[in-house]
Amino acid sequence: MNRAVVYQAASICLSYPDDRVLGLADVVGRALDESAPAAAASFAPLLRWWETTPASEVQRSYVDVFDLSKRHALYLSYWTDGDTRRRGQVLADFKQRFRDAGLVLGDTGELPDHLPLVLEFARHRPDEGAELLQSYRASLELIRIALAERDSPYAGVVAAVCATLPGRSPEDRAQAMALAAAGPPAESVGLDPYDPRLLPLEPTGGR
Instruction: Supply the pTM of this predicted model.
Output: 0.81
Residue spans per domain, the chain: 3-198
DSSP string over the chain: --HHHHHHHHHHHTS---HHHHTTHHHHHHHHHHH-HHHHHHHHHHHHHHHHS-HHHHHHHHIIIIIS-GGG--BHHHHHH-SSHHHHHHHHHHHHHHHHTT----S-SS-TTBHHHHHHHHHHSHHHHHHHHHHTHHHHHHHHHHHHHTT-THHHHHHHHHHTSSSPPPSSHHHHHHHTTT-S-S--SSS-TT-GGGS-SS--S--
Convert the pLDDT of each residue in 84-110 to its tens digit. 667 888 888 898 899 888 887 666 778
The arithmetic mean of pLDDT across residues 133-150, rounded, is 91
Check pLDDT > 70 for residue 60. Answer: yes
Across 59-63, 74-78, 103-107, 191-195, the highest mean pLDDT is recorded for 59-63
Q: Which of 21 and 111 is assigned the larger pLDDT?
A: 21
